[in-house]
């Protein structure tokens, strides 16, 4: 199976890291290489531009692809979205100069909007029956309203810094995006694709969980169990050469702070908190 992965840009690193955590470490991957093997002999990686990945998948050059929802929508391919990989979160927004008169989409009838996403922008205005000229640019979109190239833009924002620096205000949200795993509808049910989905889901499930290990005297066990809201209850084991018990449990990351205090009060000692690589439920 071939997986299409962003070759550069902000999505490259987190995608490679995710593959690694999912058990698919890339081998023999050098800078500017287009193909790489993974530790699984059945899985190879094809490096492509984030914007081209939907097309690689639609064409069958890759069985699955990892890229932003914005790119899949813009490509016009109709791929199946298998897993939201929960990074690369951003919004495509319609924005216009802060101090200008444009404050709602309808005012853009007969005006010009610049964007790197002409298809999404066209659909957005068509749906609302607003007749707008769309100018395609390939970067620095935020500049165009200040050089009379456009009256507004449709562009990506996450922190909002770029819009603020360029004195642009959001008028409307066009799309919420994040990175997803995409496949052609015909291959979405293949065994290998399903295995990949399970692997990614197990990584995501582990992200907000922590593994707690502690020692507990047997007379304190019930009190300790009372404060543990864990996944499927704690695992309790004998500790060799001691009367203590070892208690292991998986808990939500946001509960860790409070639970540790409660566990100490209940008599737990030697409490260890570790991250979890993957969690297959």
Ligand X SMILES: O=P(O)(O)OC[C@H]1O[C@H](OP(=O)(O)OP(=O)(O)O)[C@H](O)[C@@H]1O
Ligand Y SMILES: Nc1ncnc2c1ncn2[C@@H]1O[C@H](COP(=O)(O)OP(=O)(O)OP(=O)(O)O)[C@@H](O)[C@H]1O
Q: Does 202 bind ligand Y (CB under 6 A)?
A: no
Whichever of 160 and 270 has its CB closer to ligand X, that residue is 160
Task: Please identify which residue in 161, 185, 240, 274 interacts with ligand X, judged by CB under 6 A.
Answer: 161
Q: Does 90 bind ligand Y (CB under 6 A)?
A: yes
Q: Does 162 bind ligand X (CB under 6 A)?
A: yes
Write down the least CB distance from residue 96 to ligand X, Å: 16
Instruction: Tell me if 6 sits within 8 A of 48, measured CB to CB.
Output: yes
Task: Please identify which residue in 24, 62, 66, 156 interacts with ligand X, judged by CB under 6 A.
Answer: 156
The partner residues of 96 in beta bridges, in order of sequence, read 169
Backbone angles phi, psi at 123, to 5 degrees: -60, -40
Q: Does 71 bind ligand X (CB under 6 A)?
A: no
Task: Please identify which residue in 71, 157, 177, 215 interacts with ligand X, judged by CB under 6 A.
Answer: 157
- Which range of residues in 9-17, 180-188, 214-222, 257-265 is near ligand Y by CB under 6 A? 9-17
Q: Considering only residues 4-43, where is the footprint of ligand X by CB under 6 A?
A: 10
Task: Please identify which residue in 3, 11, 108, 168 interacts with ligand Y, judged by CB under 6 A.
Answer: 11
CA 210: distance to chain centroid?
20
Binding mask 131-170 for ligand Y (x = CB under 6 A): -------------------------x-x------------
Task: Please identify which residue in 72, 74, 155, 201 interacts with ligand X, judged by CB under 6 A.
Answer: 155
Write down the least CB distance from residue 64 to ligand X, Å: 24
Question: Which distant-in-sequence residues (6+ apart) come within 8 Å of 10 by Cβ?
Answer: 88
Whichever of 4 and 11 has its CB closer to ligand Y, that residue is 11
The continuous run of DSSP H or E covering 276 comes out as none
Distance CA 200, CA 227 (A): 31
What is the rounded (10 degree) CA torsion for 117, 123, 127, 130? 60
For residue 213, which of 239, 241, 249, 256 has the smallest C-alpha distance?
A: 249
Task: Please identify which residue in 51, 79, 175, 247 interacts with ligand Y, judged by CB under 6 A.
Answer: 51
The entry of ligand X, ligand Y, none that residue 160 binds, CB within 5 to 8 Å by partner kind: ligand X
Is the sign of the CA dihedral 121, 76, 45, 200 positive or negative?
Answer: positive
Q: How many residues of this chain bind ligand Y (CB under 6 A)?
A: 16
Distance CA 5, CA 2 (A): 10
Question: Which distant-in-sequence residues (6+ apart) come within 8 Å of 245 by Cβ?
Answer: 215, 216, 217, 218, 221, 236, 237, 238, 239
Q: Considering only residues 168-227, where is the footprint of ligand X by CB under 6 A?
A: none
Task: Please identify which residue in 148, 159, 185, 240 interacts with ligand X, judged by CB under 6 A.
Answer: 159
Backbone angles phi, psi at 202, to 5 degrees: -70, -35
The CA-based angle 50-65-120, given to 5 degrees, is: 55
Interface with ligand Y by CB under 6 A: which residues? 8-11, 49-51, 68, 70-71, 88-90, 156, 158, 177
Interface with ligand X by CB under 6 A: which residues? 10, 139, 155-162
């Amino acid at each position: 199976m071939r997986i299409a992965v962003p070759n550069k840009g902000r999505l490259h690193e987190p995608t490679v890291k995710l593959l690694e955590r999912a058990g698919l470490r890339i081998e023999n991957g050098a800078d500017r290489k287009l193909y790489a093997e993974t530790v699984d002999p059945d899985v190879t990686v094809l490096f492509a531009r984030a914007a081209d990945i939907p097309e690689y998948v639609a064409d069958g050059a890759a069985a699955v692809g990892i890229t932003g929802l914005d790119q899949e929508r813009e490509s016009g391919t109709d791929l199946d979205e298998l897993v939201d990989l929960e990074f690369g979160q951003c919004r495509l927004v319609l924005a216009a100069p802060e101090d200008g008169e444009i404050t709602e989409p309808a005012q853009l009838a007969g005006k010009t909007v610049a964007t790197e996403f002409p298809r999404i922008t066209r659909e957005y205005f068509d749906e609302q029956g607003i007749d707008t000229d769309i100018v395609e640019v390939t970067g620095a979109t935020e500049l165009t309203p200040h050089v009379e190239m456009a009256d507004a833009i449709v562009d990506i924002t996450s922190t909002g810094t770029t819009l603020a620096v360029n004195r642009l205000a959001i008028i409307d949200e066009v799309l919420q995006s994040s990175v997803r795993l995409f496949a052609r509808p015909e291959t979405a049910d293949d065994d290998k694709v399903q295995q990949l989905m399970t692997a990614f889901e197990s990584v995501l499930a582990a992200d907000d969980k922590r593994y707690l290990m502690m020692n507990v005297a047997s007379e304190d066990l019930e009190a300790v169990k009372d404060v543990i809201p864990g996944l499927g209850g704690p695992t309790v084991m004998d500790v060799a050469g001691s009367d203590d018990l070892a208690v292991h449990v998986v808990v939500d990351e946001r509960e860790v702070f409070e639970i540790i205090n409660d566990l100490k009060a209940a008599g737990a000692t030697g409490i260890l908190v570790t991250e979890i690589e993957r969690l297959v439920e």
